């Protein structure tokens, strides 16, 4: 490959990204808990979020790539196979257990130099909590009912002081989330949960940088320094020398995307030379706003020409797309954004706002409505088999 940057169109960059995200194939990972493992390992992480006007983001992201996905598949991967675990990526996420060592440095940092909100905890109380879990088994915050409640420090805080102790144990690696019931987490001793005599050795900064580069190339196709280090910007200084070395060795090729020339990009020569999978004409994905394709907003705009607005915290009068708008991908183009809400009592998926990004066409509308039908069956599977889609 030439040392000078290769110019590619946004359409070519889009194809590389969608192919890497496995969104050009109907069922790239199979089914069951092994599909959850395979999808999470390929993507690197699956973001968790609490908003549930529709199904929560972690289930939604997996169902986008695993059409036969059930919530039990993720539960089995987390609690039975133990092939995924929860920790902080750029946000709270499911992460492959095989990658645990790359997150162990952050755990060690929290343990050795705790942030201010953990520095003040009573270590005797923390030791007593670990002893209780060791003796009684895994527990959730609901199992702790013998403490004096305090005022909340912020909207998402708990009135139970033990919540901070559980969080400290989670972030320093002593505890892991062994199971979930919705957003209720069950905590277990990490070593006992995974059956480890010794935890994986923490990666060095150079190894973490190499991991971030490999993860981005695998799941993004064409990468920038920002996209590689999303959520971990301090490691840019470690990642850039790896990129430069790979370019000199011709394992990476510099790339310029037309219209985004100010941002250097790179790709593997084999990816640039391959044709990639064909674009299915009517393959429709209703994407979560936390999907890895959507979450990096500047990258999405540069490559797709689409500006996504997350407006859950925007005053209603100022919303453009709606409270919880979902981009709709048809083939290689984002053609619409749908503000959806699940009415679980009435077994209905409500389309509260439909915004066309591309010119409206009858064939597009029909394909999206068919995808909405499938999406709705996933949303309401526990309550109903085939409810109808209504427009509010």
Query: Dihedral, CA atoms, 6, 8, 14, 15, nearest 10 degrees?
Result: -80
The whole-number pLDDT of residue 8 equals 96
pTM: 0.92
Mean pLDDT of 351-362: 95
pLDDT value of residue 384: 33
pLDDT, tens digit, 9 for 90 and up, residues 126-173:
999 999 999 999 999 999 876 545 555 654 555 577 899 999 999 999
pLDDT at 151: 55
pLDDT in the model for residue 161: 78
pLDDT above 70 (res 383): no
Residue 190 has pLDDT above 70, yes or no: yes
Confidence of residue 176 (pLDDT cuts 50, 70, 90): very high
Task: Please tell me the predicted confidence (pLDDT) of residue 1.
Answer: 45
- What mean pLDDT is predicted for residues 167-183? 95
Residue-wise DSSP of 54-110 = SS-HHHHHHHHH-TT--HHHHHHHHHTS--EEEEESSSEEEEEGGGGGGTHHHHHHH
Percent residues over pLDDT 70 in the chain: 93
**How would residue 354 be classed by pLDDT, with cut points 50, 70 and 90?**
very high
């Amino acid at each position: 490959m030439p040392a000078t940057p290769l110019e590619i169109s946004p359409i070519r960059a889009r194809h590389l990204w969608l192919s890497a995200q496995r969104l050009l194939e109907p069922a790239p990972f199979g089914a069951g808990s092994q599909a959850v493992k395979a999808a999470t390992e390929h993507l690197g992480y699956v973001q968790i979020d609490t908003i549930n006007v529709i199904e929560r983001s972690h289930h939604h992201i997996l169902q986008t790539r695993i059409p036969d996905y059930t919530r039990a598949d993720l539960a089995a991967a987390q609690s039975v196979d133990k092939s995924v675990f929860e920790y902080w990526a750029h946000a709270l996420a499911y992460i492959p257990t095989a990658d645990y060592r790359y997150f162990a440095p952050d755990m060690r940092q929290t343990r050795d130099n705790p942030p201010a909100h953990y520095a003040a905890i009573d270590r005797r109380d923390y030791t007593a909590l670990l002893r209780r879990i060791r003796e009684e088994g895994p527990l959730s915050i609901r199992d702790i009912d013998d403490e004096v409640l305090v005022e909340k420090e912020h909207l998402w805080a708990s009135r139970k002081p033990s919540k901070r102790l559980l969080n400290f144990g989670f972030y320093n690696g002593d505890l892991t989330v062994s199971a979930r019931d919705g957003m209720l987490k069950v905590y277990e001793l990490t070593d006992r949960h995974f059956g480890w005599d010794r935890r994986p050795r923490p990666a060095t900064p150079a190894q973490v940088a190499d991991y971030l580069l490999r993860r981005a190339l695998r799941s993004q196709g064409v990468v920038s320094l920002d996209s590689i280090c999303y959520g971990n910007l301090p490691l840019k200084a470690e990642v850039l020398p790896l990129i430069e070395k790979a370019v000199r060795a011709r394992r990476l090729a510099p790339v310029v995307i037309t219209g985004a020339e100010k941002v250097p990009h790179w790709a593997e020569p084999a990816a640039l030379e391959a044709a990639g999978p064909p674009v299915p004409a009517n393959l429709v994905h209703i994407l979560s706003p936390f999907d890895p394709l959507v979450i990096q907003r500047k990258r999405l705009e540069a490559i797709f020409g689409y500006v996504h607005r997350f407006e859950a915290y925007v005053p209603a009068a100022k919303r453009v797309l709606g409270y919880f708008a979902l981009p709709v991908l048809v083939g290689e183009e984002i053609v619409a954004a749908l503000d959806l809400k699940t009415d679980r009592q009435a077994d209905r998926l409500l389309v509260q706002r439909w915004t066309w990004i591309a010119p409206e066409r009858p064939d597009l509308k029909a394909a999206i409505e068919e995808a909405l039908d499938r999406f709705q069956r996933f949303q309401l599977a526990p309550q109903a088999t085939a409810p109808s889609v209504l427009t509010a």
